[in-house]
Chain A
Amino acid sequence: MSDVLAVAEHRRGDLRDVSFELVTAGRDLADAAGGDLHVAVIGGDVDGFAEELNREGVDTIHTISEGEEFNHDVYTQTVEALFDELAPELLLLPNTVNGLDYAPAVANSLSLPLVTDAIDVEYGDELAVTREMYGSKVETVVEVDADRVALTIRPGEWPPAESTGDAEISQFDVSIDESAVRSTVTGFQEVGGGDVDITDADVLVSVGRGIEEEENIALVEALADTLGATLSSSRPIVDNGWLPKNRQVGQSGKVVTPDIYIAIGISGAVQHVAGMKGADTIVAINTDASAPIYDLADYGVVDDLFDVVPALIEAFGGEPPAL
């Protein structure tokens, strides 16, 4: 039998969306491999989570009551124990910050080849995994020649499993070796706040690394002022300290859904896109016609922002700053 074991993710009382995407991906693979789909949920309100995870296609849900929140030492030991018990062919984990905090350890410890950040998977003679390289400029297929494989899947690539299923729910007991728990989560903090809330804005003028220098931020600031828009940015701008953290759009920043999102000198890396793909109208200004932002954009200007943005300010009757 070629079973699949997927491990759900939750945080602060809620299952994360990727958990239901794992069910979809897991079911597809289990079908192709001719096996069962097992889903595990570790820690927190496992019974409540199990009820929610009981979607069509899940054969068994394993609940493991260990702790409230994610602790990678506990997750690592638990997943290893469950893997030993079930001996699945495929271990599916989320390619999230926490997924990447334990998937490589589990894979290494179980001597499983690991492929991370899968955007597509085909199960044939060998498992063929599609992933991106060079900042989404190319796609690759890697094949895994092994009986058992660990895989992390990119959030947002598989539709979430919706309808209710009739999975068996089974409690799994694991005895945690406390001496091997050498990290302690001591708390959480919400970052952000500050002067503006970019999630409220109808129009966002968003600036990325294409702006090159801190002084040049004045140019996009002037555009935002002229348009009555709010200024946001990709991560490098915040990392450089050119704009405060509450302006960052993306996976680790804010998720925004404005009417109009103008991405200026932003390539459209997956972690950025995670924060803005819900905008109604997306406009990109980028010299690179093959930048991934154009896969998402409704309108584009493939040209130098230092020529286009001043002209746009003028077209609205404003005056571009001297740089």
Chain B
Amino acid sequence: MKVLVAVAEVADVEDEFEIDGLAIDEQYLNYDLNEWDDYAVEAGVQLQEAGDDVEVVSVTIGPERADETIRMALAKGVDRAVRVWDENLEATEYLDSETKADVLAAVVEDEQPDLVLTGVQSDDTAFGATGVSLAEEVGFEWAAVVNDLEYEPGSDTASVHRELEGGVEEFTDVELPAVLTIQTGINEPRYASLRGIRQAQSKEIAPKTLDELGLDASVTDSAVSLTELYEPETESDATLFEGSPDEEADQLAELLRDEGVEA
């Protein structure tokens, strides 16, 4: 069987940053594998280790720079990867979840996986919609916010736990083929071993254009556009203690004592 894990490279913003038009200045951004996707990769690799004939393929939408991030997934045991990018995607100002789902759907058509894993959301845009949109697009069943997965490779049903709010979990049986969006904490993502990192160098990252996936450039047309990006006005009216850490700690201790905390 085949498991497709969709991964994204996301940007983390430094504490101090500047905005340039509708984006944050590149120098304040650090790129990394999306936190939720790290757990999805681990879930995929665990299935591969549990079954005899399970292939795990990663797919990402992103520029060449993203190869570095994909290598991390390959170093952790993913067999090969597909990276979709071209000048049309490059020129797209706002990749909404519909466009992402359409592009990923074309890769699903190509790869014919039995199971697709994605993260619950991307750390940067936090739309939380790509996985379920993709499922609908390709006619797969799905489950969102999965924090436990029981699946025997080859079987036609997966049993999952979905993490609802307030410490309640829902148990659901999902027919395959399916898309599952993976929540952090479902497993313990492994570190890439030195051996894994070396092996990843020789694994394939196949670049694909929209054209090669049989998609028209119009797939990037979107009704949604970004019109403003700004630092929210701070709503903070916190009293900040000042001085050296010792002085700050003394002031805080005084406050806590005033509030009735007694050591």
B-side contacts of A175, CB under 8 Å: none
Per-residue A-contact encoding for B159-192, CB less than 8 Å = 1, 0 else? 1011111111111111100000000110010000
Bound complex: CA of A192 vs CA of B166, how far in Å?
10
Closest chain B residue to A309 by CB distance? B249
A105 at the binding interface (Cβ < 8 Å): yes
Contact A101:B132 (CB < 8 A) given known A253-B167, A288-B15, A308-B248 = yes
Are A308 and B249 within 8 A (Cβ)? yes
**Would you call A189 and B171 a contact (CB within 8 A)?**
yes
Binds A, one of B49-57, B60-68, B137-145: B137-145
Q: Pick the residue among B24, B94, B127 that contacts A138 (CB under 8 A).
A: B24
Is B151 at the interface (CB under 8 A from chain A)?
A: no
B184 in contact with A182 (CB, 8 Å)? no
- Of the residues B125, B166, B223, B230, contact of A145 by C-beta under 8 Å: B223
Pairwise interchain contact A139-B232, C-beta atoms closer than 8 A:
yes
Write out the residue numbers on chain B whose beta carbons fall within 8 Å of the beta carbon of A226.
263
Q: Does B91 contact A (CB under 8 A)?
A: no
Cross-chain contact A189 with B168 (CB below 8 angstroms): yes
CB atoms of A114 and B168 under 8 A apart: no
Q: Report, as a range, how many residues of chain B touch the other chain.
A: 35 or more
Interface hub of A253, A307, A311 (most chain B Cβ within 10 A): A311
Number of A-B pairs whose CB atoms are under 8 Å? 267
Q: Are A134 and B173 in contact (CB under 8 A)?
A: no
| B127-A134 in contact (CB<8A) | no
Task: Establish whether residues B248 and A108, one from each chain, have CB atoms under 8 Å apart when the complex forms.
Answer: no
- For A135, the chain B residues whose CB sits under 8 A away are 13, 123, 126
Give the distance in Å from the alpha carbon of A187 to the alpha carbon of B24 in the complex.
44
Q: Which of the residues A185, A287, A314 comes within 8 Å of B15, measured between beta carbons?
A: A287
Contact A140 B226 (CB under 8 A): yes
Residue B21 at the chain A interface, CB threshold 8 Å = no
* A187 to B137 alpha-carbon distance, docked (Å): 28
Instruction: State which of B79-87, B211-219, B236-244 sits at the interface with chain A.
Output: B236-244
Given A139-B232, A236-B184, A299-B255: A113 and B246 interface contact (C-beta under 8 Å): no
Complex-state Cα separation, A72 to B252, whole angstroms = 49
User: Does chain B have a CB within 8 A of A177?
Assistant: no
The interface size of chain A toward B, counting residues with CB under 8 Å, comes to: 99
**Contact of A113 with B126 in the complex, beta carbons under 8 Å:** no
* Distance A149 CA – B261 CA, assembled complex (angstroms): 51
B111 contacts chain A at the CB level, 8 A cutoff: no
Which residues of A sit under 8 angstroms from B16, Cβ to Cβ?
Answer: 290
Q: Which residue of A lies closest to B145 (CB)?
A: A97
Judge whether A105 and B238 touch: CB under 8 Å: no
- The answer to whether B169 and A134 have CB atoms under 8 Å apart is no
A contact residues around B125 at 8 Å (CB): 133
- List the A residue with the shortest CB-CB distance to B165: A251
Q: Are A100 and B263 in contact (CB under 8 A)?
A: no
If A105-B132, A300-B241 touch, whether A182 touches B172 (CB-CB below 8 Å) is no
1/0 per position for A219-258, CB-CB distance to B under 8 A?
0000000111100000110111100010000011111000
The answer to the question of A143 belonging to the interface, with a C-beta cut-off of 8 Å to chain B, is: yes
In angstroms, Cα B238 to Cα A73, docked, is 46
* CB of A260 within 8 Å of the partner chain: yes
Are B240 and A105 closer than 8 Å at their CB atoms? no
When chains A and B are docked, how far (Å) is the Cα of A288 from the Cα of B16? 8
CB contact between B234 and one of A241, A295, A301, A308 (< 8 Å): that residue: A295
Best-buried of B132, B159, B163, B259 by chain A (most CB within 10 Å): B132
Task: Give B residues with C-beta under 8 Å from A.
Answer: 11-13, 15-17, 19, 24, 94, 96-98, 101, 120, 123-133, 135-137, 141-145, 159, 161-175, 184-185, 188, 222-232, 234-236, 238-241, 245-246, 248-250, 252-253, 255-256, 259-263
Top 10 closest pairs, chain A to chain B, by CB = A311-B249, A307-B245, A315-B253, A316-B263, A104-B132, A239-B185, A141-B228, A101-B144, A104-B129, A182-B175
List 25 interface pairs A-B (beta carbons < 8 Å), by A numbering: A72-B142, A76-B136, A101-B144, A103-B129, A104-B130, A107-B133, A113-B96, A133-B229, A135-B123, A140-B226, A142-B226, A183-B141, A183-B143, A188-B169, A190-B168, A191-B168, A226-B263, A240-B188, A283-B256, A284-B238, A299-B238, A301-B241, A302-B240, A304-B245, A318-B263
